[in-house]
Amino acid sequence: MAGSIARKVLTERLGHLVEHGVLKKQAYDSRPRYAYVLTEKGRELVAVLMVMAGWGDSWLAGEAGPPVLYRHHACGEIGQVDLRCSHCGGPMHEGDIEVLPGPGAAPQPASAG
Q: DSSP letters of the chain?
A: -TT---HHHHHHHHHHHHHTTSEEEEEEETTTEEEEEE-HHHHHHHHHHHHHHHHHHHHT--TT--S--EE-TTT--EE----B-TTT--B-SGGG------TTSPPPPPPP-
Maximum C-alpha span of the chain: 70
Please report the pLDDT score of residue 100 as a whole number. 94
pTM metric for this prediction: 0.72
Please report the pLDDT score of residue 31 as a whole number. 87
Q: How many residues are recorded in the chain?
A: 113
Q: What is the pLDDT along the chain (113 residues), one digit of tens a residue?
A: 457 899 999 999 999 999 999 999 999 988 889 999 999 999 999 989 999 999 999 999 999 999 999 999 999 999 988 889 999 999 998 999 999 999 999 988 877 66
> What is the C-alpha to C-alpha distance for residues 76 and 44, in angstroms, rounded to an integer?
22
Please report the pLDDT score of residue 112 as a whole number. 65
> What is the C-alpha to C-alpha distance for residues 5 and 36, in angstroms, rounded to an integer?
17
Residue 58 carries which side chain, given as an amino acid letter? Answer: S
